[in-house]
Homo-oligomer: A and B are copies of this chain.
Amino acid sequence: MSEPISGKSLHGHLDTMVLAVLDKSEAHGFEVWKRLEAQAKGGLKLKEGSLYPALYRLETAGLLTARKEEDDSSRRGPRRRIYKITRKGKRRLDQGRQEWQHFVSVVECVIGAPA
């Protein structure tokens, strides 16, 4: 098996991935992280130091909104921030998916497409 994806190769595609998981339903940061790990079937190793800045970046860009979760005394830890994709975020997701496909086709022109 290959190494999990991380680092430089993710550059610029993480935002689209985050938007994609939040497009299914709203979620707090830690759950976004778990969804990413789960959907990538162990192929992804993402650090908090990458995810939370990405969420912040998307929020300030108006692609996500965030609200504090209402108090739930059946769970531990600090109040979670629930992120929800905006209409602008959905448009950006579409665009990101197109860019992704374009990116893949261009790189494969050069390095040689898989069989």
A3, A17, A109, A110 — most chain B CB neighbours (10 Å): A110
A5 CB–B CB distance under 8 Å: yes
> Cβ of B107 and Cβ of A100 under 8 Å apart?
yes
Number of A interface residues in the complex (CB < 8 A): 37
How far, in whole Å, are A12 and B3 apart by their CA atoms in the complex?
Answer: 15
Q: When the two chains form their complex, are residues A44 and B106 in contact, meaning their CB atoms are under 8 A apart? A: yes
- Write the A1-30 contact mask toward B (1 if CB under 8 angstroms, else 0): 011010111111100110011000000000
Residues of B within 8 A of A20 (CB): 110-112
Residues of B within 8 A of A13 (CB): 9, 107, 111
Tell me the bound Cα distance from A101 to B107 in angstroms. 11
Q: In the bound complex, do residue A107 and residue B12 qualify as a contact, i.e. CB atoms below 8 Å apart? A: no
CB of A104 closer than 8 Å to a CB of B: yes
